């Protein structure tokens, strides 16, 4: 099970493995109290995309599409594959984010992706099945 939680909410044992999905550490959050299991900065939106979305908060759909394209880059593919493996290995994984908007942020997109709800912009199948296949093809 994948859940979402703001970095400013207290960590709880029920969170399971806590994964920080931000490029920058959240202001005012102490590393000891955050209890972050893994911090894959490669999975966070680029600084350019984050700043663009901050300036255009009404463009959620465009942000999601641009962010999904970023996740296809080589830098993110490996970390995304590791995240899939982490979710498969743990009963619960909590994606930790810093945004005040709990419905429109990159963690929401990642959760949808992990749960197989999102389709890539140019494909007919779930994103989950596309990326690992591409990863395996590259390794052989």
Q: Give the model confidence (pLDDT) of 5-18 as tens digits.
A: 999 999 999 999 99
| 21 vs 135, more confident | 21
CB atoms within 10 A of CB 40: 17
Tell me the per-residue pLDDT of 91-108, one tens digit each, with 9 for 90 and over: 999 999 999 999 999 999
- Domain limits for position 133: 2-139
pTM: 0.82
Q: Which residues contact 118 (CB under 8 A, 6 or more apart)?
A: 64, 68, 109, 112, 126, 127
Return contacts of 50-55, CB within 8 angstroms, 24+ apart.
50/23
For the record, the structure tokens of 84 come out as 């899939």
Q: Are 87 and 93 in contact (CB under 8 A)?
A: yes
Q: Are 7 and 20 in contact (CB under 8 A)?
A: yes
């Amino acid at each position: 099970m994948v859940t979402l939680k703001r970095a400013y909410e207290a960590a709880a044992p029920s969170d399971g493995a806590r994964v920080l999905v931000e490029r920058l550490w959240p202001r005012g959050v102490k590393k000891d109290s955050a209890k972050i299991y893994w911090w894959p900065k490669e999975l966070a939106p680029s600084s350019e995309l984050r700043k663009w979305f901050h300036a255009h908060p009404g463009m959620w759909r465009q942000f999601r599409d641009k962010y999904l394209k970023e996740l296809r880059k080589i830098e993110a593919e490996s970390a995304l594959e590791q995240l899939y493996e982490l979710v498969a290995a743990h009963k619960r994984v909590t994606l930790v984010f810093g945004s005040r908007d709990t419905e429109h942020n990159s963690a929401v997109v990642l959760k949808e992706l992990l749960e197989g709800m999102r389709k890539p912009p140019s494909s007919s199948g779930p994103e989950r099945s596309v990326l690992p296949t591409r990863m395996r093809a590259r390794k052989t």
